[in-house]
Amino acid sequence: MLNLYSAQIESISLHRVGNKSKNESAFLSAEPFSLNDEMAGLLKEYFFKPFREKEENYYKFSHEVDLEFNEICTAVTGIFENPSDNHRLSKKITTHLYEQSNHPHIKSGEVYVVHFSDMLIDNQKTDAVGIFKSELKHDFLQFEEKAQNLEILIRQGINVNKLDKGCIVFNTSKEEGYKVLSVDSNRYDAKYWLENFLGVAPLTDENFYTKNYLKFCQNFAKDVVLPAEDKQQEVMFMNRAVNHFAKNDNFEETSFLNEVMENPELIPEFKHYKVEKGPKYSIGDVSNFDIANKAVSDARKKIKNVINLDTNIQIKMDFINPESAEKFVEKGWDEERQMYYYLVYFNKEQKS
């Protein structure tokens, strides 16, 4: 669980990188940037907003030989060990980014290297290093009084409501490669940011496995349960799956299948589907793990419990208890009309 509310900017360095393949240079500031309170508040909102709006998908630094050869991991470690070294190491970070900026599609931009204090992650207070890049420039208007007239001036600048690229490295789990969050609004060059520059890999923790297993279940429901049975059974399967995760602290696959799979004939189908599709979700050989409650809550919000009918009618089964669908929703076939029907039972209509 992440809380950025109390975070403070301890130091910030500002540089610029061009596109190396176009012979654009890098500009490294001689001194750290001096902040006032107004600017600090504005920049914190600019840096943190995308991380509050997206799922907490954590990464960790990696390297095929050893973490000490990952340049960003080494630089960040230096900042954590000696925060006064932030500006010197920010130049190394920016130079490394410039060296990766050698594809024609990569845009030039400003680089911010920030040392934060009072970050709260998993109820633990820690410091963090943020690396952010602004790329896209937007036109805006300025107005100026000249004599008796008001003039319009066209300027270009950064939209502080949309960060182009950024990562936050938390000073925790150092031996495993830290915990890293990343955002990238311009996904045309994702490899450049995540792989070439940061050198990170997904952090396979309980959040990762919970989220990916539920995504896998969602696709199994769509690809196997829906064709074999119907939309109602697809929705019910996913409700049972999410509720199993919600009421357990640990996941055990055999127990899960016995509880959520009402049609035993689909269990071999599930296992075969997992062999085929499981590696895509990095759960191919995973059958036991701790369950992350937040990942379950996030998944529940995204599951669409709606049956769309060809008669332009929608049935939304918005309930936490999956048994409601069995008790209060029936599907049948009308011989006279030669049409399917749903019969819905209720005591009274709820006022909106």
Rounded-to-10 torsion of CA 240, 223, 54, 185: 180
39 and 169 assigned to the same domain: yes
Q: Is 26 left (phi over 0), alpha (psi -120 to 50) or beta?
A: beta
Q: Is residue 186 part of a domain?
A: yes
169 and 229 assigned to the same domain: no
Output the pLDDT for position 109: 94
Q: Is residue 147 part of a domain?
A: no
Q: Is residue 221 part of a domain?
A: yes
189 and 247 assigned to the same domain: no
127 and 255 assigned to the same domain: no
Output the pLDDT for position 116: 97
Output the pLDDT for position 11: 96
Distance separating the N- and C-terminal Cα atoms of the chain: 33
Instruction: Say how many CA atoms lie within 13 Å of 211 toward its Cβ.
Output: 16
CA distances (Å), origin 107, targets 103, 110, 140, 186: 9, 10, 20, 10
233 and 182 assigned to the same domain: no
176 and 317 assigned to the same domain: no
The range of the structural domain enclosing residue 279 comes to: 207-344
Nearest residue to 273 via CA among 283, 259, 263, 264: 283
Say what the pTM is.
0.78
228 and 306 assigned to the same domain: yes
Domain boundary among 143, 176, 203: 203
CA distances (Å), origin 120, targets 81, 116, 123: 19, 11, 6
Q: Is residue 112 part of a domain?
A: yes
238 and 281 assigned to the same domain: yes
303 and 194 assigned to the same domain: no
Please report which helix (H) or strand (E) contains residue 28, including its range.
strand 27-28
| 167 three-class SS | strand
Question: Would you give per-residue pLDDT tens digits along the chain (352 residues)?
Answer: 788 889 999 999 999 999 998 989 999 999 999 999 999 999 999 999 999 877 778 999 999 898 999 999 999 999 999 999 999 999 999 999 999 988 888 899 999 999 999 999 988 999 999 999 999 888 889 999 988 899 999 988 888 888 999 999 999 999 999 999 999 987 666 689 999 999 999 988 898 999 999 999 999 999 998 888 887 788 888 888 998 999 999 999 999 999 999 888 899 999 999 999 999 999 988 999 999 888 888 877 777 677 778 888 887 776 556 566 667 777 788 888 888 888 888 888 777 6
69 and 213 assigned to the same domain: no
Domain count, the chain: 2
Q: Is residue 155 part of a domain?
A: no
Output the pLDDT for position 191: 84
